[in-house]
Amino acid sequence: MIIPVIFGQPIHVWFGMVLFLMLILQVLIAKKLVPIPFKWHRRLGYLILISAFFHGLVGVGLNFGFFSIG
């Protein structure tokens, strides 16, 4: 499977940056610095879990040669 490249970086790099921003938002919501209801805190947590799984899966796949960068 070929991993796409966007603006010179593989998709998993961009996915990792978005994941990092979601983690920062999660912390800000938990500390009540961003006034968002708790149900969104929980939904974002599940989204972070799923995103981290796929981000790690692509990274490990690239490391072991299951994927290639196109």
Report the alpha-carbon distance of residue 4 to residue 1 in Å, rounded.
Answer: 10
Residue showing tokens 């290639």: 68
Domain residue limits, the chain: 2-69
Per-residue pLDDT tens for 8-66? Answer: 999 999 999 999 999 999 999 999 999 998 899 999 999 999 999 999 999 999 999 99
> Exposure of 25 by Cβ count < 10 A (0-12 exposed, 13-18 middle, 19+ buried)?
middle
Tokens found for residue 34: 């961003």
